[in-house]
Amino acid sequence: MNFRWRRAAAVARKEWFHIRRDPFTLTLALALPLAMVIIYGVAIDFNIKNVSLAVSDFDATESSRRLVDTFASSDYFRVRRADSPGQALQDVVAEKARAALVIPPRFEKDLGAGRGASAQVLLDGADNSTVGPVSLYVQTIQTLANARIAGANPVAPYDLRTRFLFNPELNSRWFVIPGLIVVIMAILSIFLTALTVAREWENGSMELLLSTPIQPIEIIAGKAAPYAGLGILAVAFVYVIARTAFGVPFEGNLLVFALGCLLFLATYLAQGLLISVVTRQQTVAMQLSMLTGMLPSNLLSGFVFPIASMPRFFWYFTMLLPARWFMVIARRSFLEGSTLAQLGVPLAALGVSCAVMVSLAARRFRRSLE
């Protein structure tokens, strides 16, 4: 078998003509990255701020006011006065507030007597996405309030100082946007290629290709090339937006990051081709690429949902996903400035999955033609 560049290039050229004339492909390639950046970068804010807190203060003493003030003066809570514990609860039920703080009448007295005073915090447990961070805020503020209530000269046995490395302000966009590169690349490469071979089968033009001396590997290379170009373009686009519009730092090595991009792109292009070869129908190919490409890269790659907190089975399962490894490479390249050696494991994993997927697609394609 001898590979001929001219034939592969002819296929690539022809594919480019298709792309140019197919509004769907071009729109998807251009609009998807833009839409994703707007949705994840602007509309969705993972930093929860200004949580409205219904406060019912029955004690109305200096101590209770200090406690309330500590909440009010933080960035995280917006205090809403309630006349009674019942109304505070009502506010949470009516979704006017996401949490409630109820201070009982004997709060300061109990404190002074050293009897162990207590106040109650009510959180909306039905809203799972906010309850975690909010309860964390409550704990932090409690520590702060304790110090203030105890007096100007708190005698703490030690001082635990926290500093956030790599993303000192815990800006969620810094975390999300590098991950977006992974998701966008995954969707684009898998969708577009999944349709391309299936389209040839549906049109019957595969028969034309096969009646010429072209080799399967030339068809694959020629078909993948233009979509690889589109994928690289999309990455560059998101990279520029990340650096300029969102000010995300890029601490790592661009070449290492580019290597990761290429490996990931090749893997997903191959997966798209594999889907296309197996299904031979555009509609089925579309659904299968959604199931095997878009869903895992969104949900199981650590993009939004942390892998560390997944059940054991899924934790191991994600090891099989190229998107998981590329997510690590993308984030650490942007924020941590990891070197080639530090990214050795994810790069190797990506390399293996790439080799497996490409050879699988090539073999399956060759077999399907016989």
Partner 1 sequence: MTGETVVEARDLVVRYGSFTAVDHISFAVKRGEIFGFLGANGAGKTTTIRVLCGLLQPTAGDVRVAGAGYADGETAIKIRVGYMSQKFTLYNDLTVGENLDFIASLRKLDRSYYLERRSDLLNLISFTKGLDATVRDLSGGIKQQVSLAAALLHDPEIVFLDEPTAGVTPAGRDRFWKLIHGIAERGKTVFVTTHYMDEAEQCGRIALMRDGKLVATDTPAGLKSTAFPEPLYELDPVARLNPADVAAWEEHEGFAFFERYGPRFHASPLNAEEWQRRRPELERQFRIRPVAPSLEDVFLRIIEGPR
Q: To the nearest whole angstrom, how small is the minimum distance from the Cβ of residue 281 to partner 1?
A: 15
The structure tokens listed for 293 are: 């490409």
Q: To the nearest whole angstrom, how small is the minimum distance from the Cβ of residue 219 to partner 1?
A: 10
| Residue 61 phi, psi (nearest 5) | -115, 180
Give 156 or 208: the residue with its C-beta nearer to partner 1: 208
Give 214 or 299: the residue with its C-beta nearer to partner 1: 214
Site string for partner 1, 78-117 (x = CB under 8 A): ----------------------------------------
Cα separation, 290 vs 17, in Å, equals: 25
End-to-end distance of the chain based on CA atoms, in angstroms? Answer: 15
| Residue 103 phi, psi (nearest 5) | -105, 120
Site string for partner 1, 8-47 (x = CB under 8 A): -xxx-xx--xx--xx-------------------------
Give 208 or 240: the residue with its C-beta nearer to partner 1: 208
- Among residues 364, 353, 367, which one has the least CA distance to residue 276? 364
Q: Residue type at 112?
A: G
Q: To the nearest whole angstrom, how small is the minimum distance from the Cβ of residue 26 to partner 1?
A: 13
Q: To the nearest whole angstrom, how small is the minimum distance from the Cβ of residue 203 to partner 1?
A: 7
- Among residues 11, 370, 328, 350, which one has the least CA distance to residue 193? 11
Q: To the nearest whole angstrom, how small is the minimum distance from the Cβ of residue 10 to partner 1?
A: 3
**Contacts of partner 1 in 214-233 (CB under 8 A):** 214
Site string for partner 1, 173-212 (x = CB under 8 A): ------------------------------xxx-xxxxxx
Cα separation, 177 vs 327, in Å, equals: 11
Cα separation, 270 vs 317, in Å, equals: 20
Q: For residue 7, state whether it binds partner 1 (rule: CB under 8 A).
A: yes
Classify burial at 253, counting beta carbons within 10 Å of its beta carbon; exposed 0-12, middle 13-18, buried 19 or more.
middle
Cα separation, 270 vs 146, in Å, equals: 58
Q: To the nearest whole angstrom, how small is the minimum distance from the Cβ of residue 2 to partner 1?
A: 10
Q: For residue 157, state whether it binds partner 1 (rule: CB under 8 A).
A: no
Which residues of this protein are in contact with partner 1, per CB under 8 A? 4, 6-7, 9-11, 13-14, 17-18, 21-22, 203-205, 207-214, 370
